[in-house]
Amino acid sequence: MLLFIFLDGIGIGHATSQNPFANHHFPVLEQLYGGPWLENEGGCQLPQHIARPIDARLGIDGLPQSATGQTTLFTGVNGSALEGMHISAFPTHALRETIAHHSFLKQARAAGYRVTFANAYSEHYWQSKISKRNRHSATTLAAMAADLPLRDFADLSRGEAVYWDITHEIARDTYAPQLPYVTPEQAGERLARLSAEHDLVLYETFLPDLVGHRRIPWPPHEVLQRIDRMLAGLLAALPVRATLLITSDHGNLEDPNTKGHTYNPVPLIVQGPATPYFRTVHDLTGITPAILQSLGTSRSP
């Protein structure tokens, strides 16, 4: 039983005056990391809990980007090496093919495990994809490769899904005013329930990346407080037999001095019975193999 929380756009950076991790207290994030999410601070190495920075550059020059980083996370194939460069935003044809064949969700489901993607999709999302030639993120493609039923706002209203903004605030303000607000703690409780019902759950929030790019005018520390509260609700309700995995694809939010990504490593946090499978993970390529090994199935090359 494993819950993978993908935090898009959070790195482990320097303790500068602008880094929100250096200037604000996030009790649950710090508990999970063994201290502040800062270079040369924190870290944990216990039988059922590890926390450390891992590489997101993948041996390729240039700033790490979403399409290649996420493809790597969700397949174990080095997407940046495959392309010979870091690719932003939506996966290319080669990356889409890689996800279609090697999605960790697909492999786990093919092995007979109960797999789900916790995020809910709106009708607005599908309408916008039709007008943009149906381009999807690596996360969505990984779920689609597994032929998973994608959750919608009906699931969200029943408490059987979680939205990427955690509380529904952005959804309500833009295209779904009928949605009730939920607290971050309630969102975490929903993830815990889904984890109790499945062997493998993926949840993504790209709120940190959007704020880091300044596409949403929120202070970075407020985003991290929202995530912190969600994790508080999750940990209070997560079954003891479940393993929690948290990581990212590249740095961004930790350096408000830039609108772009950073060269910083990203956090790897694993807590629970499957922790030993992640001890040798040192970059993004190791996540999918470790997940599949923890489930008792081998990764297809």
Sketch the domain layout of the chain as residue ranges: 2-295
CATH of 2-295, one of 2.70.98.20, 3.40.190.10, 1.20.58.340, 3.40.720.10: 3.40.720.10
Over residues 21-65, the pLDDT tens digits come to 999 999 999 999 999 999 989 899 999 999 999 999 999 999 999
Predicted confidence at residue 297, as pLDDT, reads 75
pTM of the predicted model as reported, rounded to 2 decimal places: 0.94
Residue 158: pLDDT band with limits 50, 70, 90: very high
Mean pLDDT of 165-169: 94
Residue 269: pLDDT band with limits 50, 70, 90: very high
DSSP state of 148: P
Residue 123: pLDDT band with limits 50, 70, 90: confident
Predicted confidence at residue 301, as pLDDT, reads 37
**Sheet hosting strand 49-54, strand order edge to edge:** 44-46, 49-54, 266-271, 243-247, 2-7, 200-205, 115-117
Mean pLDDT, all residues of the chain: 93
Mean pLDDT of 197-201: 97
- The rounded distance, in Å, linking the Cα atoms of 186 and 232 is 10
Kindly tell me if the per-residue pLDDT of 94 is higher than 70: yes
Q: How many residues does the chain have?
A: 301
Collapse the DSSP code of 204 into the 3-class scheme (helix H, G, I; strand E, B; otherwise coil) and give the result. strand
Please give the angle made by the CA atoms of 203, 206 and 210, to the nearest 5 degrees: 170
66-75 vs 93-102: helix crossing angle, rounded to 10: 20
Q: How far out from the chain centre does Cα 70 lie? A: 9
- The rounded distance, in Å, linking the Cα atoms of 1 and 83 is 33
CB 81 within 8 A of CB 113: no
